[in-house]
């Protein structure tokens, strides 16, 4: 698989097919290829020998895709930054790279960079993000200084949205643009994209994914859900700065599919969104489980309304038995596929089709088996999941310290091949030449058939009154109780110590009542399943859980509510 | 004073039922384990200046919010 070649082929063979559509606009394969080619030439001419990563700022505009491809076709990695990122995150990433080129693929511009058309044009969400930022800047003079020195109006290299449109519409003047034949696109071990994830300690980590990583991932992923068929319709829920989006974006582009991308505003109006998805005939649903749960709050979210859905592809967080069960009830003909993998190993590395028997069983759902080019082991002492294979990132951008802590060269690879082999797309046998290992920080185990089960983060292990326990263990047991649909346990801390636990519970029907009798039933039910010290002191019934901008469960916000 | 004691109990037991039903049996309902009982005595001392030693009363004499309030009241009057 060579993703750029596949897209070029699609553009040549089926150029009129729509590659991307959102409420901001649409793009055919021919347009995507042509426009990204023009922009690639311009980027290359402007940047010359500078091959630093390029920041692409925006949300769900078709220009995002054009920019991504333009960067890699010019031989530069792209770094997607969604508009939901706080501005100081953008600043710190820009500082990390060192005055990079920034492409504004957002019609409303970017406030921090002074490219905003007018204050009135900026959305409510952005305004409040900015207000937050201002408040922070007032609190910390240092932040303020950094913002000002990092982005002196005249020095940063920015291509505005209007300019991007102009560049991509018409062929550039000679001299202003590098001819296509002179461009050297990203390939092999070149970094293709960098996704910054929030490190647990302040500074974000830039996960570098190479062209080989992405191509290796796609070779495996095109077989998801029994094989992705040609020219199908994919849902894109995740913002592009969240690596879940890589699954829908590149799987779709690799198979000549259409990406239907839904923006934040639409995601906040579920009935309207369901109308939209129904009209768009979504076939492959790619989202976090939390997002599907949110949709199931709407009774109309079912096969009656969206009969086109063939499969749900989940990644990014735990898929619970309950969520899968309800989904299979609503969409009896659709496959539910669970996958697992961290950003550091290119989206996901295992997959399994969830069956009725798995859902009905008492044990949590499996996350799947790896493909032929990935090996999974667990640390015999800590049960930490360790992933080795051709999709493991070379490490964090400009951060050898944090890279060395979790990444290593595949040991068996020293002096030869590690034995991971598989057939590549062109039919030849490919073997792992230079694969790496990554320690995930997730806990899990492999059963006797090689099926992986993930039991959550190692760092969700807490200590309460001297007892060591797993929040996820308590949650899984709460969810066994009749009448409990979902449970999340959040610790209340004071002075770095945990005082007590609060269980937030979404009820299923009314067999647990929303009063003291219900809270008591939960406590006494749980006491029969776990030791008394693990029973949360506070039980709170809620309608739904808060979600992060990426559509994952927001544990921090729950902690603040406890 | 009553309100303060109930607030302390709500914090310790983690459930507002202690204010809604002040005759509820905290021990039988598993709302107050022995660890919590020590916390209660410490909080009463810190917040109301009422000193009760752990052996002064049996758990049965202190097993409902109303009983606890009555003892605190008595202690405050004696002082």
Higher pLDDT, A466 or A482: A482
The CATH class that applies to domain A3-186 reads: alpha beta
- Residue A461: pLDDT band (50, 70, 90) is confident
Q: Do domains A3-186 and A205-456 have the same CATH topology?
A: yes
Q: Between residues 26 and 45 of chain B, which touch chain A (CB distance below 8 Å)? A: 29-30, 33, 35
- Residue A539: pLDDT band (50, 70, 90) is very high
Map out the domains of chain B with their CATH numbers: 1-78 (1.10.1200.10)
- Residue A432: pLDDT band (50, 70, 90) is low
Query: Rounded to two decimals, what is the model's pTM?
Result: 0.78
CB contact under 8 A, A538 and B29: no
Closest Cα in chain B, distance from residue A344 (Å): 40
Mean pLDDT of A149-175: 75
Which SS3 state, helix, strand or coil, does residue A336 take?
Answer: strand
Question: What is the model's pLDDT at position A135?
Answer: 46
Higher pLDDT, A306 or A146: A306
Q: What is the second-level CATH architecture of the domain A205-456?
A: 3-Layer(aba) Sandwich (3.40)
Q: What is the pLDDT of residues A80-130, one digit of tens each?
A: 999 987 777 888 888 888 889 999 999 998 877 755 433 333 344 444 444
CB contact under 8 A, A516 and B30: no
Mean pLDDT of A510-527: 93
Q: Residue A70: pLDDT above 80?
A: yes
Mean pLDDT of A304-324: 94
Question: What is the model's pLDDT at position A137?
Answer: 43
Q: Residue A414: pLDDT above 70?
A: no
Domain ranges of chain A: 3-186, 205-456, 465-561
Run of H or E including A490: strand A484-494
Mean pLDDT of A155-171: 88
Question: What is the model's pLDDT at position A154?
Answer: 39
Question: What is the model's pLDDT at position B48?
Answer: 92
Q: Residue A133: pLDDT above 80?
A: no
Find the helix packing angle between B2-13 and B65-78, rounded to 10°. Answer: 130
Choose the closest CB to A465 out of B20, B30, B35.
B35
Tokens (6 digits) for A296: 């199931």
Q: What is the pLDDT of residues A235-252, one digit of tens each?
A: 999 999 999 999 999 999
> Beta strands A384-389 and A374-378: pairing type?
antiparallel
Buried/exposed A255-289: b ≥16 CB within 10 Å, e otherwise? bbbbbbbbbbebbeebeebbebbbebebbbbbbbb
Question: What is the model's pLDDT at position A423?
Answer: 42
Q: Which residues of B touch A536 (CB under 8 A)?
A: 14
Closest Cα in chain A, distance from residue B1 (Å): 24
Which SS3 state, helix, strand or coil, does residue B7 take?
Answer: helix
Q: What is the pLDDT of residues A21-57, one digit of tens each?
A: 999 999 999 999 999 999 999 999 999 999 999 999 9
Find the helix packing angle between A211-221 and A3-13, rounded to 10°. Answer: 60
- Residue A426: pLDDT band (50, 70, 90) is very low
ipTM of the complex: 0.84
Q: Residue A420: pLDDT above 70?
A: no
Q: Residue A427: pLDDT above 50?
A: no
Q: What is the second-level CATH architecture of the domain A465-561?
A: 2-Layer Sandwich (3.30)
């Amino acid at each position: 698989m060579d993703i750029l070649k596949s897209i070029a082929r699609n553009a040549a063979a089926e150029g009129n097919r729509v590659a991307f559509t959102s409420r901001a606009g649409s793009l055919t394969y021919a347009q995507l290829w042509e426009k990204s080619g023009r922009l690639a030439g311009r980027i290359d001419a402007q940047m010359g020998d500078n091959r630093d990563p390029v920041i692409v700022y925006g949300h769900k505009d078709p220009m995002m895709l054009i920019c991504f491809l333009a960067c890699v076709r010019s031989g530069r990695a792209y770094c997607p930054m969604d508009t939901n990122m706080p501005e100081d995150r953008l600043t710190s990433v820009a500082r990390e790279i060192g005055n990079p080129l920034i492409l504004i693929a957002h019609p409303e511009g970017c406030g921090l960079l002074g490219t905003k058309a007018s204050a009135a044009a900026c959305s409510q969400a952005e305004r409040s993000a900015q207000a937050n930022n201002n408040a922070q800047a007032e609190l910390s003079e240092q932040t303020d200084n950094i913002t000002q020195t990092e982005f002196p109006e005249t020095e940063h290299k920015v291509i505005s949205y209007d300019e991007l449109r102009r560049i991509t519409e018409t062929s550039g003047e000679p001299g202003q643009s590098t001819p296509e034949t002179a461009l050297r696109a990203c390939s092999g071990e070149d970094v293709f994209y960098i996704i910054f994830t929030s490190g647990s300690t302040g500074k974000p980590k830039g996960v570098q994914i190479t062209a080989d990583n992405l191509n290796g991932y796609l070779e495996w992923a095109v077989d998801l859900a029994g094989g992705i068929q040609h020219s199908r319709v994919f849902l894109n829920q995740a913002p592009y700065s969240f690596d879940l989006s890589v699954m829908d974006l590149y799987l779709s582009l690799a198979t000549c599919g259409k990406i239907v991308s839904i923006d934040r505003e639409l995601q906040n109006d579920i009935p309207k969104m369901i109308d939209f998805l129904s009209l768009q005939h979504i076939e492959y649903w790619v989202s976090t489980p939390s997002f599907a749960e949110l949709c199931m709050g709407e009774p109309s979210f079912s096969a009656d309304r969206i009969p086109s859905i063939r499969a749900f592809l989940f990644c990014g967080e735990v898929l619970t038995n309950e969520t899968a069960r309800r989904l299979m009830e609503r969409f009896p003909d659709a496959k539910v596929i669970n996958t697992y993998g961290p950003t550091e190993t290119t989206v996901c590395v295992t997959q399994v089709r969830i069956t009725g028997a798995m859902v009905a069983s008492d044990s949590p759902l499996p996350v799947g088996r790896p493909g032929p080019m990935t090996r999974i082991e667990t640390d015999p002492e800590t049960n930490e999941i360790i992933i080795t294979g051709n999709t493991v990132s070379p490490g964090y951008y400009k951060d050898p310290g944090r890279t060395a802590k979790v990444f290593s060269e595949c040991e068996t690879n020293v002096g030869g091949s590690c034995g991971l082999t598989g057939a590549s797309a062109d039919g030849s046998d490919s073997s792992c030449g230079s694969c790496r290992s990554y320690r995930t920080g997730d806990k899990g185990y492999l059963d006797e058939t090689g099926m992986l089960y993930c039991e959550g983060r190692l760092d969700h292990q807490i200590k309460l009154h001297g007892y060591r326990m797993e929040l996820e263990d308590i949650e899984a047991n709460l969810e066994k109780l009749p009448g409990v649909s979902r449970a999340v346990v959040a610790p209340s801390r004071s002075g770095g110590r945990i005082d007590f636990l609060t269980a937030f519970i979404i009820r299923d029907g009314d067999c647990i009542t929303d009063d003291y009798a219900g809270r008591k039933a939960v406590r006494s039910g749980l006491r029969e399943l776990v030791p008394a010290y693990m029973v949360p002191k506070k039980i709170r019934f809620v309608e739904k859980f808060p979600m992060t901008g990426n559509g994952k469960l927001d544990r921090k916000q729950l902690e603040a509510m406890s | 004073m009553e309100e303060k004691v109930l607030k302390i109990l709500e914090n310790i037991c983690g459930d507002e039922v202690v204010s809604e039903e002040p005759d509820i049996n905290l021990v039988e309902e598993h709302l107050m384990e022995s660890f919590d009982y020590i916390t209660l005595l410490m909080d009463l001392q810190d917040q109301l200046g009422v000193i009760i030693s752990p052996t002064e009363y049996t758990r049965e004499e202190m097993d409902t919010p109303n009983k606890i309030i009555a003892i605190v009241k008595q202690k405050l009057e004696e002082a």
